[in-house]
Structure 1
Amino acid sequence: MTIEHFEDIYHRACQRKGGKQALESLLQKPLHQDEIAAIPDDRWLAAFTMKVFQCGIQWKVVRDKWPNFESLFFQFRLEPILMQPDEAWEEKARDPGIIRYLPKVMTIPANAQMIFDVRVDHGSFGEWVAQWPKARIVDLWLHLKKHGKRLGGNTGPYALRQMGVDTFLMTYDVEAYLRATKIIDSGKETKRALYAANDAFNQWHAESGRSFTEISQIIAYSSGDLHDH
């Protein structure tokens, strides 16, 4: 299998978006490693929680209620969350100020524990993520899926992107491109597909020097219907 040169992908994206300047103006860029490392643990838990609750409903509904989430869940500080008894979570899940769904509410203490466990070994969750090797970014996705709760599929990667982590996303457009070019040929959540996609992004990064975040968006703009990238 021959992977398309990134220069050709970029040229096609420029044509579709009205030129280089127009394309570049659309591209989101990741944060630097030191900025990722400085993100407090509570903001990681907040990001994971937001994406869990946004799954399956309009994102705006969650954003509109988000101040209530912050207030009800201790601004997502790990210590008070991890000290709550089970019955407290059942009560919080009935609060009319949030989206009342106990299984999603219960991801908060579970994911708080995941973050706390990382903190014990690495100082902070942000420092740990900042040091993750980009050449195997999908292994970070798999860690979130295995050790977190409801962070599989696109939920974990979307939360990472929201926090400024340099990662590609397996959006509809990116997946369609990877399938059309036969880079992946199995379910998008299989390790075979994830590693094949990661390897392709490694090649494009080596060719272009661009971040995975930029490459992911450029691929989508080069071939897709321009959904979120």
Structure 2
Amino acid sequence: MAEISQPESFDALYQRACERKGSEQALKALLGQPKSEKQLRQLGDDRYLAEFSKKVFQSGFVWRVVENKWPAFEELFFGFDIDKILLMPDEMLERKAADPAIIRNYKKVRSIRDNALMIDTIRREHGGVGEFLANWSGEDIIGLWAYLKKHGERLGGNTGPYALRAMGKDTFLLSRDVEAWFRQRKLIDGGLTSKRSLDTIQQVFNQLQQQSGRSLQQLSQIIAFSTGDNHIV
């Protein structure tokens, strides 16, 4: 693949984000930090399934409502214990999907068991989701997104990436502001999630990371804060 010309130096990008947010101190206060590889490995597979499931239910829905109902999800689905969920028959899933304590959507409820199957495969092949994520190179985050879309259920689009971000895996996000930055610089001109666009986006993030030493998460945030509507926080 031909190397992409650097569209903008990290220093210029960072300076503009600082100016738009009022100061470097203000920008720093807005930047998040992904978990370390050690922290990813320490998180149990049940917590990864819980986060995948939460993001599936939040997709196309009011996030606050899902958060408020989440304790009921934890109770109904055995704390997202992988082995217990794998033993759930369809009839039990149907009963739980009808429970008013949670969001009653059978297809999304069924995805909990489907994604438990994916996690079961990962833990048998890699020792656990934490180990799997810790070992996945940040230089191919789009490959990790593709894995989740192919092997998981309802984890395509933004759902998988947002779940990874919530789990602490270092990833960029294709928010509207990030997309706008790429389009303004004519780095992408077709569909945002086409192979060509995703390859270009990954390569640019890799170049910015090599230049700055920053995490993909922070680079994604800095790009977003440097463009689009500006809100001083």
Say yes or no: TM over 0.5: yes
- Is 1:116–2:120 an aligned residue pair? yes
Give aligned pairs, total.
227
Specify the alignment match of 1:42 in structure 2: 46
Work out whether residues 72 and 92 of structure 1, in 8 Å CA contact, stay in contact via their aligned partners in 2: yes
1:145-168 C-alpha deviation (Å, 9 max, x unpaired): 000011001100000000111100
Amino acid at match of 1:192: R
Cα distance in structure 1, aligned partners of 2:155 and 2:193: 12
Q: Percent identity?
A: 52
Equivalent residue runs for 1:17-32 within 5 Å: 17-32=21-36
The corresponding residue for 1:210 is 214
AA of the residue aligned to 2:163:
A
Equivalent residue of 1:84, what SS?
A: coil
TM-score, structure 2 as length reference: 0.95
Aligned to 2:13: 9
4+ residue segments displaced more than 3 Å? none
- Which of residues 138, 146, 158 is equivalent to 1:142? 146
Q: C-alpha displacement at 1:205, in angstroms?
A: 0.2
- 5+ residue gaps, structure 2, are none
Whether 1:195 aligns to 2:196 is: no
- Please provide the CA RMSD for this pair: 1.1
SS of 1:223's equivalent in the other structure is: coil
- 1:167 corresponds in structure 2 to 171
**Equivalent residues in 2 for 1:92-111, closer than 5 Å:** 92-111=96-115
Structure 1 gap ranges (5+): none
The answer to whether the Cα contact below 8 Å between 2:118 and 2:151 also exists between their aligned partners in 1 is yes
Q: 1:193 is matched by which residue type in structure 2?
A: S
1:64 is matched with 68
Contact 2:139–2:206, Cα closer than 8 Å, also in 1: yes
| Equivalent residues of 1:183, 1:200 under 8 A apart | no
CA distance in 2: counterparts of 1:13 and 1:95, whole angstroms: 46
1:207-229 Cα offsets, whole Å, 9 max, x none, are: 100000000000000002369xx
Question: What residue identity is the alignment partner of 1:167?
Answer: T
